[in-house]
């Protein structure tokens, strides 16, 4: 086992993780997390003002799973607006509390849907220049999934911007 420390997480790469790099095998979350953090920490230019947050791949899994479970409760109309937001994002906000969302220029979100990896990069969050870029090698004419990913990221960032730490921020989220 190889253990690598990055600013916000430590990644343990096991033999089974290395084996998924073989031809015709699927990349797993450990390899994706390692590579994205490696690129940010060791490949991009070393600048003191480099402000990039790379979220672990389990973030998207947790966010999308919670989203699916809450839709049933929302449809029944039994929750207040605050309860809906807490149900949708409360656990995920706790999960990412050590990650910087405010003082960054980019938030990198690895997305795994149906055994396919995509990458969402939120550029200049919480500013008037905020944009989301999605990299997906299997992008087709049906953009519904891409729109759902963007909407869920956008909703999460809106909730993030209203946390007590961020309440003074004004912006598109």
Q: Could you give the percent of the chain with pLDDT greater than 90? A: 36
Identify the pLDDT of residue 33.
Answer: 95
Give the number of other CB atoms < 10 A from CB of residue 90.
Answer: 13
Identify the pLDDT of residue 44.
Answer: 87
Q: Read off the pLDDT of residues 129-166 as tens digits, 9 standing for 90 and up.
A: 999 999 988 876 667 778 888 888 888 888 887 765 44
Rounded (10°) angle between helices 81-95 and 57-76: 170
Judged by average pLDDT, the poorest of 26-30, 33-37, 84-88 is 84-88
Give me 41's structure tokens: 């920490």
User: What average pLDDT does the segment 116-137 reach?
Assistant: 92
Q: What's the number of CA atoms in the CB half-sphere (13 Å) around residue 21?
A: 11
Q: Read off the pLDDT of residues 64-97 as tens digits, 9 standing for 90 and up.
A: 886 665 555 555 567 777 677 777 788 888 888 8
Q: Largest Cα–Cα distance in the chain?
A: 51
Judged by average pLDDT, the poorest of 28-42, 74-88, 103-117, 128-142 is 74-88
Sorted by where each starts, the structural domains of the chain and their CATH numbers stand as 49-166 (3.30.310.130)
| Pairwise pLDDT comparison (89 vs 29), residue with the higher score | 29
Give the ranges where the chain is alpha helix by DSSP (H): 15-19, 29-38, 57-76, 81-95, 144-161
């Amino acid at each position: 086992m190889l253990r690598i420390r990055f600013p916000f997480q430590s990644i343990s790469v096991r033999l089974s993780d290395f084996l998924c790099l073989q031809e015709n095998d699927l990349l797993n979350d450990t390899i994706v997390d390692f590579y994205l953090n490696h690129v940010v920490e060791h490949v991009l230019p070393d600048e003191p003002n480099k402000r990039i947050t790379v979220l672990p791949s389990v973030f998207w899994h947790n966010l999308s799973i919670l989203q699916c479970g809450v839709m049933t409760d929302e449809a029944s109309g039994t929750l207040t607006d605050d309860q809906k937001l807490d149900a949708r994002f409360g656990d995920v906000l706790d999960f990412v509390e050590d990650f910087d969302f405010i003082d960054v220029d980019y938030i990198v979100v690895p997305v795994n849907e149906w055994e396919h990896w995509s990458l969402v990069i939120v550029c200049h969050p919480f500013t008037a220049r905020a944009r989301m870029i999605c990299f997906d090698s299997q992008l087709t004419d049906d953009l519904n999934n891409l729109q759902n990913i963007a909407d869920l990221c956008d909703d999460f960032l809106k909730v993030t911007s209203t946390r007590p730490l961020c309440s003074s921020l004004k912006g598109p989220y």
